[in-house]
Amino acid sequence: MSDASSVIIGIGLKKLYESGIVSRKRTYAVNGVDIAIRHGETYVLVGESGSGKTTLGRVLLLLIQPTDGEIICNGVNITHKTHYEMIPFRKKMQIIPQHPEDAFNPRWKVSRSILEPYYLHPESFHLQSKTELLTGLLQQTGLDPEYVNRYPHQLSGGELQRAAIARVIALKPEFIICDEPTSMLDVSVQASIVHLLKDIQKKTGVSLLFITHDIQLARVVGDRVGVMYKGQIVEEGSDTLTNPLHPYTHALTTNSLPGEKSYEARYESGCTWRSVCPKADDICHTMPGLQTCGPVKIRCHHPT
Ligand SMILES: Nc1ncnc2c1ncn2[C@@H]1O[C@H](COP(=O)(O)OP(=O)(O)OP(=O)(O)O)[C@@H](O)[C@H]1O
């Protein structure tokens, strides 16, 4: 899967969580994911709550160590790099969180938080002064200079998300994970934040991994879409949400998912969707691989 067109590649990624003291509960939040994000594209990860989107995103950034699998950044295997060896890669990979307020120190003025990369990595800014950097970042994100002299609780959710984006782009990243960046915002400002991110992408060529459970947003924002179900990507393509081939994607996009009770069965092997799939037969007791069908990848024995 190593190719020069990708900024980040995950190969065979797994993340196992174990909980409970008396009886151990094992959950594969990510269960064998292959993914490649190309330079300059927006790849949308879509799926229901608990399907593993956030865990996969954090594993790709090595904010969570995978239980298994490898991560390649610009052709370099970074899976087992030390904290020190990771520094140059960390600068190139950033995340915009769902809750911008969590990303700010409540005791710092917003300007201090936006300039945090400057204090952490002064060598990256050469002769640029703090004021020049801040002015440029505010211009790029459309944030009123007056706001950055305030504390985080004195800004609206949309203003704070712009400030979070300003901090993220300070180090000129090549790859940004946007983890539901608009889901906590008022509908009226959601579109402006999405436009801002796409505008930054147009100007800088940054790759975006956009995590959402909003199908309409995914359709609009994504160059390619990966559909996650129980820790796996079951379908991937540019037209996936308009012409779904996997029975799960079809149910997700037509609002016809069965009730939680009817498909909560977890199998140790085989297709995890088979308990409710109308097409399920004996072969579905074996796990389908992610097959390439033209421009689409699909994990199903019986695609439409
Ligand atoms: N630290 C953890 N310890 C144990 N289980 C976890 C942990 N983090 C996540 N999980 C479990 O892993 C699964 C995937 O969670 P994850 O947050 O990645 O899903 P998601 O698709 O991002 O959901 P949402 O859209 O609600 O944010 C869930 O079953 C969750 O309970």
- Residue 85 sits in a domain whose CATH number is 3.40.50.300
Domain-embedded: residue 95: yes
Pocket test for ligand 1, best of 15, 45, 55 (most atoms within 8 A of CB): 55
**What does the chain come to in residues?**
304
From the CB of 47, is ligand 1 less than 6 Å away?
yes
- pLDDT value of residue 266: 54
From the CB of 212, is ligand 1 less than 6 Å away?
no
C-alpha 5 to ligand 1 mean position (Å): 30
Q: How far apart are CA 222 and CA 244, in angstroms?
A: 15
From the CB of 29, is ligand 1 less than 6 Å away?
yes
C-alpha 18 to ligand 1 mean position (Å): 12
The H or E element spanning position 89 is helix 83-92
Pocket test for ligand 1, best of 48, 54, 183 (most atoms within 8 A of CB): 54
Domain-embedded: residue 51: yes
From the CB of 213, is ligand 1 less than 6 Å away?
yes
- pLDDT value of residue 186: 84
Domain-embedded: residue 23: yes
pLDDT 10s digits, 105-151: 999 999 999 999 999 888 888 777 889 999 999 999 999 999 999 99
From the CB of 52, is ligand 1 less than 6 Å away?
yes
- pLDDT value of residue 125: 84
Ligand 1, atom 7: closest residue by C-alpha: 17
Residue written as tokens 């190719």? 3
Parent domain of 240? 6-262
Domain-embedded: residue 294: no
Cα dihedral 33, 37, 41, 46, rounded to 10, equals 20
Pocket test for ligand 1, best of 14, 16, 27, 227 (most atoms within 8 A of CB): 27
From the CB of 183, is ligand 1 less than 6 Å away?
no
Domain-embedded: residue 288: no
**Residue 68 and residue 14 in contact, taking contact as beta carbons nearer than 8 Å:** yes
Domain-embedded: residue 68: yes
From the CB of 19, is ligand 1 less than 6 Å away?
yes
pLDDT 10s digits, 195-220: 999 999 999 999 999 999 899 999 99
Q: How many structural domains comprise the chain?
A: 1
Contacts of 41 (CB under 8 A, 6+ apart): 207, 208, 223, 224
Domain-embedded: residue 290: no
- Looking from the CA of residue 18, the nearest atom of ligand 1 is 4
Q: pLDDT averaged over consecutive 10-residue blocks of the chain (304 residues)?
A: 82 92 84 95 94 96 96 96 93 90 91 93 83 93 92 93 95 95 85 94 96 92 94 94 92 82 58 84 89 89 86
For the question of an ipTM over 0.95, the answer is yes
Domain-embedded: residue 182: yes
C-alpha 49 to ligand 1 mean position (Å): 8
